[in-house]
């Protein structure tokens, strides 16, 4: 009888283990489109599929991007810019229209697999001084009703990507949301929990290192550190785990310690700052991927890694604002033309380059070595005010190529941006077109791509049109109530 009891117990344990959900994190990517040299969306989707990346996060509902994702099988998180939150918060009609035009129309057989809608992007960021905060919850409620009307509420989940500055602590176990955010965070997390949505957070150890000269460099990576952080019985050997568990503690403090967490953005730039380079980016991203896929979790969530992580980012975006730093244009694991910057294995083999990229002819614009360049300053200012010259800054990959090299780099960046128009290499006779690649070491003089589509600011012209339409709906609603 004892043997039968032991066997029954063993079988029960096996049954429990087999039915328990296995935590298996997926590695996705952020696909930003603020680029001067923009690959066609179809090539980008092929690049994502070729590298067996199954999840992508986009920052807005650009029609050409969503059309390119149709039938791809890629799970998509669609973003709503912060600037749209005000109108969605006050107009259910505008929310209905947006869901109909940007979600329902694509979620057909063979369409786009939209799983999440990111309502705003880091709307609680300290630097925004609370300007978007009043609109977040009303916008969420209206959009949730719109999804319900479209019979999509059970499948498409609303989330609000938060920056890691939404919470604070000296030690992870003492994590808490900023005092002025406690009330709205409690409301937000309650909403997320009730609707089966995860908490989405962006974590950037690079920014901790970049913004604090006393931050231990090895603590930003995953190879171990000489400066571990002891927190009671828990010891933290990397900044990512410490930051993640600070959020876990903050969630626990408001009664949601088991809330699933998705990392909406995480990565390391390759240029534009001293600590931004190919070696560091590869070490961080590969270390992060290995750490996540090991399923070790963190001290406060052992064996439970984040649900998913979205690397920031897929491609370099040469037209992004450099206000946070010159590195902002160099987060991509691929360069603007879809070429892998370094060897990286995301769990499906080493990165593969984009195919069928159509380049402009192999020619470059450089400073004419026979000319007096003493009056070139105004030309460099003009070129770099339009084109991307962030690799020339201190710490950048082209910073050490000398004065003439810097001038040539600026000239060429402008020339390629102008689609190699012959007049764009004139610079009052100081420029010269060459067919010899002037690249020096790690400093790459780019050649533009011909299959581009224009990008007018963060979301292109379509974004301005959408804002106008939504505000018109709001205006008509107000007028109708008078």
Instruction: Give yes or no for a contact between 283 and 221, defined as CB atoms under 8 angstroms apart.
Output: yes
- Listed in sequence order, the residues at least 6 apart from 305 whose beta carbon sits closer than 8 Å to its beta carbon are 23, 25, 292, 294, 295, 296, 297, 298
Helical pair 377-386 and 402-417, crossing angle rounded to 10 deg: 40
- In three-state secondary structure terms, 475 is helix
- Listed in sequence order, the residues at least 6 apart from 52 whose beta carbon sits closer than 8 Å to its beta carbon are 346, 348, 349
Which helix H or strand E contains 177, and what residues bound it? strand 176-177
Angle CA 452–458–462, to nearest 5? 75
Instruction: Give yes or no for a contact between 459 and 82, defined as CB atoms under 8 angstroms apart.
Output: no
Active site (annotated) includes residue 168: no
Instruction: Give yes or no for a contact between 203 and 263, defined as CB atoms under 8 angstroms apart.
Output: yes
Beta bridge partners, 266, equal 311
Domains of the chain, first to last: 23-329 (3.20.20.80), 364-434 (no CATH)
What global pTM score does this model have? 0.90
Instruction: Give yes or no for a contact between 243 and 168, defined as CB atoms under 8 angstroms apart.
Output: no
Buried b (16+ CB within 10 A) or exposed e, 131-148: ebbebbbbbbbbbbebbe
Residue in the structure block whose two tokens are 């869901």? 99
First to last CA, the chain: 82
Which helix H or strand E contains 288, and what residues bound it? helix 278-293
User: Residue 345, preceding bond cis, omega within 30 degrees?
Assistant: no
Active site (annotated) includes residue 265: yes
Residue-level pLDDT at 473:
57
Reading the chain (482 residues) residue by residue, the pLDDT tens digits are 444 444 443 333 333 333 333 446 899 999 999 999 999 999 999 999 999 999 999 999 999 999 999 999 999 999 999 999 999 999 999 999 999 999 999 999 999 999 999 999 999 999 999 999 999 999 999 999 999 999 999 999 999 999 999 999 999 999 999 999 999 999 999 999 999 999 999 999 999 999 999 999 999 999 999 999 999 999 999 999 999 999 999 999 999 999 999 999 999 999 999 999 999 999 999 999 999 999 999 999 999 999 999 999 999 999 999 999 999 999 999 999 999 999 999 999 999 999 999 999 999 999 999 999 999 999 999 999 999 999 999 999 999 999 999 999 999 999 999 999 999 999 999 999 999 999 999 999 999 998 654 443 444 455 555 555 565 555 555 555 55
Q: Which of 199, 187, 184, 68 is nearest to 132 (CA)?
A: 184
- In three-state secondary structure terms, 452 is coil
Which helix H or strand E contains 210, and what residues bound it? helix 205-211
Antiparallel, parallel or unpaired: β 431-434 and 301-302: unpaired
- In three-state secondary structure terms, 202 is strand
Q: Catalytic: which of 3, 75, 83, 122?
A: 122
Instruction: Give yes or no for a contact between 77 and 117, defined as CB atoms under 8 angstroms apart.
Output: yes
Q: Catalytic: which of 75, 265, 317, 328?
A: 265
Residue-level pLDDT at 481:
53
- Tokens representing 387 are 């084109």
């Amino acid at each position: 009888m004892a043997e039968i009891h032991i066997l029954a117990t063993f079988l029960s344990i096996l049954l429990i283990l087999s039915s328990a959900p296995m935590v298996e994190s997926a590695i996705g990517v952020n696909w930003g489109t603020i680029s001067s040299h923009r690959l066609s969306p179809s090539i980008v989707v092929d690049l994502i599929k070729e590298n067996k990346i199954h999840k992508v996060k986009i920052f807005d509902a650009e029609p050409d991007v969503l059309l390119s994702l149709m039938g791809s099988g890629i799970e998509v998180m669609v973003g709503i810019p912060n600037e749209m939150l005000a109108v969605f918060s006050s107009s259910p009609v505008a929310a209905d229209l947006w869901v109909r035009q940007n979600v329902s129309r694509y979620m057909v057989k063979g369409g786009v697999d939209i799983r999440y809608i990111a309502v705003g992007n880091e709307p609680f960021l300290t630097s925004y001084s609370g300007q978007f905060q009043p609109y977040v919850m009303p916008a969420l409620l209206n959009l949730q009703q719109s999804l319900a009307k479209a019979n999509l509420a059970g499948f498409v989940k609303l989330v609000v990507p938060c920056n890691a500055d939404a919470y604070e602590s000296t030690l992870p176990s003492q994590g808490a949301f900023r005092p002025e955010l406690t009330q709205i965070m409690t409301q937000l997390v309650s909403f997320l929990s009730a609707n089966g949505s995860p908490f989405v957070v962006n974590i950037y150890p690079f920014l901790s290192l970049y913004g604090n000269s006393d931050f231990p460099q090895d603590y930003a990576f995953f190879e171990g550190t000489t400066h571990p952080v002891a927190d009671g019985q828990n010891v933290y050997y990397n900044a990512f785990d410490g930051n993640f568990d600070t959020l876990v503690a903050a969630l626990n403090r408001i009664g949601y310690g088991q809330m699933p967490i998705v990392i909406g953005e995480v990565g390391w730039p390759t240029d534009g700052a001293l600590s931004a380079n190919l070696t560091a980016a590869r070490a961080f991203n590969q270390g992060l991927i290995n750490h996540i896929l090991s399923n070790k979790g963190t001290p406060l969530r052992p064996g439970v890694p984040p649900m998913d992580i979205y690397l920031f980012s897929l491609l370099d975006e040469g037209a992004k604002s450099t206000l946070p730093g010159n590195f902002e244009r160099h987060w991509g694991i691929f360069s603007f033309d879809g070429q892998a910057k370094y060897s990286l294995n995301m769990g499906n083999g080493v990165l593969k380059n984009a195919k069928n990229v159509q380049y402009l002819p192999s020619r470059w614009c450089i400073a004419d070595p026979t000319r007096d360049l003493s009056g070139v300053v105004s030309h460099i200012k003009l070129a770099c005010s339009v084109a991307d010259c962030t690799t020339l800054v201190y710490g950048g990959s082209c910073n050490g190529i000398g004065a003439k090299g810097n001038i040539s780099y600026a000239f060429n960046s402008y020339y390629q941006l102008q689609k190699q128009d012959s007049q764009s290499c004139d610079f009052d006779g100081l420029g010269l077109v060459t067919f010899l690649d002037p690249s020096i070491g790690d400093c790459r003089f780019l050649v533009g791509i011909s299959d581009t589509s224009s990008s007018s600011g963060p979301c292109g012209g379509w974004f301005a049109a959408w804002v106008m339409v939504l505000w018109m709906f709001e205006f008509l609603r107000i007028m109708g109530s008078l």
